[in-house]
Amino acid sequence: MSETAPHLGALLQAMDLPPDLAVHAPLSAQRRLHTMPLRDSALVRGLPAEFDDNCWLTVAEGDEELPQVKLNLHAGKRQYRGVHLALLSKTGAYNLLLGDDHVRVFVGSQTVMRGGIQLFRRPTLFIGDHCTFGHARLIVANCDMVIGEDAQFSDEVVIQGSDQHPIFDLDSGQLLNGQRHHVRLERHVWVGRRAMLMPDVTLGEGCIVAAGAVVTASVPPHTVVGGVPAKILRERVRWAREFPSGNAR
């Protein structure tokens, strides 16, 4: 890989991420990007681990100062292969737990990420531009997770990309939950406080997840859902980040 990746499309290709994800990163698409060996970055300085020639860190030129990102290593793992982290925002504070090899993480420009991300079993995580996380825990294991542009997350949100442990049939010994999963949020989704998103759901553009909801099925665009499990509460809505000027709260 070249140490310069001047275009977002080239970066997504290098990371084996779908090229159509570029629609969720219009700010990132306008920036020049710089890719360096992960082992040469300050991000891994002092960690008791080795990162091979296929481990990379990509940042936006001019934003080489990373946010408060802390890399944590899974217990006992000291050698990593095929990790690519593209961190294009310099704001936020979060932990990345590297559980396995072949990890792909993209965090878009002007995204404020707070919380923790667990990465196991060839995970891919794409977070678009201008997303805001009050505090979230993302479990990305055997999962492809996409969070579209301009998403808003309140405090203590959990996105459960898959089961974290295997489940077997007692009689046959068959593994019951080994399939790969996905979670996809289209642009401008709002997830309320202490909500939980479960595996294999898609949240349509502009939808709203009420506080405390547990989402187990896909949500149509411009819809409010709430409850356990979440049900449709209202359709044909839109939301904004700020109340109109002069409107009482």
pTM score? 0.94
Please state, in angstroms and rounded to a whole number, the distance separating the CA atoms of residues 208 and 38: 37
Q: Is the pLDDT of residue 2 over 60?
A: no
Residue % of the chain over a pLDDT of 70: 95
Question: Considering only CA atoms, which of 28, 62, 61 is closest in space to residue 131?
Answer: 28
- Give the bridge partners for 95, in sequence order: 70, 116
Sign of the Cα pseudo-torsion (234, 238, 242, 248, in order): negative
pLDDT tens figures, 4-35: 455 899 999 999 999 999 999 999 999 999 99
| Main-chain phi, psi angles of 91, to 5 degrees | -115, 150
pLDDT tens figures, 124-165: 999 999 999 999 999 999 999 999 999 999 999 999 999 888
